[in-house]
Amino acid sequence: MTPTAAKLAAPSALALALALTPTVTAAKDGAPAPQIECYTVEQTRQKIAQHRLVPPFLAMQAARGVHQGDALSTRLCHNGEAFIYEIGVLGHDGHVVHVPVDAATGKPHLARPEH
């Protein structure tokens, strides 16, 4: 590798290493924040059946009740304590808002999953 190529590759390698390194964020009290795990469509189906979670459609309806607009997307995540649907809602102003819904109860959740 030429010296010029090495200089150009070094920042890329560093960026790749940083991107692949897991990060742990601290909660307000200094404790590590819970790890958030989000699921694929097939994994979501399995989790709904295993844990008797509400269907995504009901979670989307709950999210629309919190923020008026059209529900665009649904993603099931687990924050170490609870299963949470993150519903993407397109508001009438054109902005997308992510509304967390408790997957066990179908009610809007107080804390938003972090990604």
Cα–Cα nearest to 102, from 39, 58, 45, 71: 58
3-state secondary structure of 22: coil
* Domain segments of the chain as ranges: 29-102
Q: Which long-range contacts (CB under 8 A, 24 or more apart) does 20-25 make?
A: 25/114
pLDDT in tens, 4-44: 444 444 444 333 333 333 333 444 556 666 689 999 999 99
pLDDT in tens, 33-61: 668 999 999 999 999 999 999 999 999 99
DSSP H helical segments within the chain, as ranges?
Answer: 3-20, 41-51, 56-66
The pLDDT assigned to 73 comes to: 94
Residue 84's contacts (CB-CB under 8 Å, 6 or more residues apart) are: 76, 77, 78, 100, 101, 102, 103, 109, 113
Entry pTM: 0.66
